[in-house]
């Protein structure tokens, strides 16, 4: 098999790393890739993730057997439809189905049709109407830019003024551009979050093990939202034995509605859950692997990822076994100081080979570039240092031991990844 992976982050590094383990895969191209992916022995191609015609043309020229878009942008731009029109299998949903992530208003309406539990909300295209709603409802309240905002378009406002300020930034200052033309204002759900992903082939949904992401920039869930500062799998708040029930609650009803409307969902469907006192409720859907959840999840996967992806595309998922190690995996994101705001680039990174040499450790690159024999930072999230362990505490110790081997000026990371899960496990004893 000849595979084209599209993207340049830690998720794409993990996808390339796992796909290379398949005996069926003979060649992998990555567009555009990063400094760490290039070291995996694959071919980097200087194509942008949103240049759909160029990606399709390249896939045709290179006789690609499977295209694997990593980030949400090419999916929302219709890369799956374009690849399929060119006769190239593509692991990911159609442009229509990708609206589940590309438009929060679309997702809310789809959840309503499917009867999926979620927060009460209202959608606005008019600034004054949204402002009046915020004043009437009060805080705490959540303000969401409708479109894609790189994981930064959601503000959990603890005061009415904070909510109004967020509305001004989104709709007046347009900090997220056209993504803020529409806003969703919804109730603030209280509880603990979990990430729940399923492989889907249009009719069948097979759950992956649970995971827990850490969105806030700083320890103890303080600071602004980021794209994710670390993750681990499994998450004690969503035990494996509850996965099938959760799929019945938040994934399979949505698949049925989409299929009935003539738009079967194929790929990975990710439900961001809030485990509230009233039960689990969906915060949002993503239509691809999460980053950084992808890294620990693929560290645990023992099945052939290429087989699983093709089964989703072909509609044969029910006949394809998915297996995982019972061990725990945990990833810590090393970021540049200032992220998710302004940050410096070009810091030299050392110590990665020492970290990678530790048992059960893999350092995935998110924002790096090679310059001669040096590795430099090129993004806000730079690395995801991921480790396996016999349990959550062991995986956490292994991951942080690996982080300690890495040196990057003006770098930072959260020190508490996995702590909530460990406390939950201790309470159960």
- pTM greater than the 0.85 cutoff: yes
Fold of the CATH domain 120-187: Dna Ligase; domain 1 (3.30.1490)
Share of the chain above pLDDT 90, in %: 95
Fold of the CATH domain 328-428: 3.90.600
Comma-separated ranges of CATH 3.30.470.20 domains in the chain:
193-319
Q: Is the dihedral of CA 178, 182, 187, 193 positive or negative?
A: negative
CATH code for the domain defined by 193-319: 3.30.470.20
2-95, which class in CATH? Answer: alpha beta
Comma-separated ranges of CATH 3.90.600.10 domains in the chain:
328-428
Comma-separated ranges of CATH 3.30.1490.20 domains in the chain:
120-187
Q: Is the bond leading into 140 cis (omega within 30 degrees of zero)?
A: yes
Number of H helices, E strands in the chain: 16, 22
**Cα distance between residue 142 and residue 129, in whole Å:** 16
Task: Quick: pLDDT tens for 6-63.
Answer: 999 999 999 999 999 999 999 999 999 999 998 899 999 999 999 999 999 999 999 9
Task: Quick: pLDDT tens for 229-253.
Answer: 999 999 999 999 999 999 999 999 9
Average pLDDT over every residue of 112-137: 95
pLDDT at 27: 97
Residue 219, C-beta contacts closer than 8 angstroms, at least 6 positions apart:
414, 415, 416
Task: Report residue 151's pLDDT band, with 50, 70 and 90 as the boundaries.
Answer: low
């Amino acid at each position: 098999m000849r595979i084209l992976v599209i993207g340049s982050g830690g998720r794409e590094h993990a996808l390339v790393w796992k796909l290379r383990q398949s005996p069926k895969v003979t060649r992998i191209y990555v567009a555009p890739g990063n400094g760490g992916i290039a070291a995996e022995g694959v071919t980097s191609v200087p194509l942008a993730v949103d240049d759909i015609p160029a990606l399709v043309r390249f896939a045709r020229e290179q006789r690609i057997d499977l295209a694997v878009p990593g980030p949400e942008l090419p999916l929302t731009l219709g890369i799956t439809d374009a690849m399929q029109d060119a006769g190239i299998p593509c692991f990911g949903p159609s442009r229509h189905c990708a609206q589940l992530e590309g438009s929060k208003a679309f997702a809310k309406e789809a959840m309503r049709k499917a009867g999926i539990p979620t927060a009460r909300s209202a959608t606005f295209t008019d600034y004054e109407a949204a402002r009046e709603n915020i004043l009437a409802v009060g805080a705490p309240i959540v303000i969401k830019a409708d479109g894609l905002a790189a994981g930064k378009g959601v503000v959990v406002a603890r005061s009415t003024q904070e909510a109004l300020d967020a509305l001004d930034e989104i709709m007046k200052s347009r900090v997220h551009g056209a993504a803020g033309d529409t806003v969703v204002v919804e109730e603030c759900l209280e509880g603990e979050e979990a990430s729940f992903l399923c492989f889907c082939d249009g009719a069948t949904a097979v759950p992956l093990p649970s995971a827990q992401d850490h969105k806030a920039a700083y320890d103890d869930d303080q600071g602004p939202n980021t794209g994710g500062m670390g993750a681990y799998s499994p998450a004690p708040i969503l035990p494996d034995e509850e996965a099938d029930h959760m799929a019945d609650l938040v994934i399979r009803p949505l698949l049925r509605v989409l299929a009935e409307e003539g738009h079967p969902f194929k790929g990975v469907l990710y439900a961001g859950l809030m485990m509230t006192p009233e039960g689990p409720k969906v915060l949002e859907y993503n239509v691809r692997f999460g980053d950084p959840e992808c890294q620990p999840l693929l560290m645990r996967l023992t099945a052939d990822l290429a087989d699983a992806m093709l089964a989703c595309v072909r509609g044969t998922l029910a006949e394809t076994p998915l297996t995982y190690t019972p061990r725990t995996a945990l990833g810590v994101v090393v970021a540049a100081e200032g992220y998710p705001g302004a940050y410096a680039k070009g810091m030299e990174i050392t110590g990665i080979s020492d970290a990678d040499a530790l048992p059960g450790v893999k350092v995935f690159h998110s924002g790096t570039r090679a310059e001669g024999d040096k590795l430099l930072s090129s993004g806000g999230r730079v690395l995801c240092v991921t480790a396996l362990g016999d349990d959550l505490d062991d995986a956490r110790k292994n991951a942080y031991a690996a982080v300690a081997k890495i040196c990057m000026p003006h770098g930072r990371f959260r020190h508490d990844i996995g702590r909530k899960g460990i406390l939950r496990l201790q309470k159960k004893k």
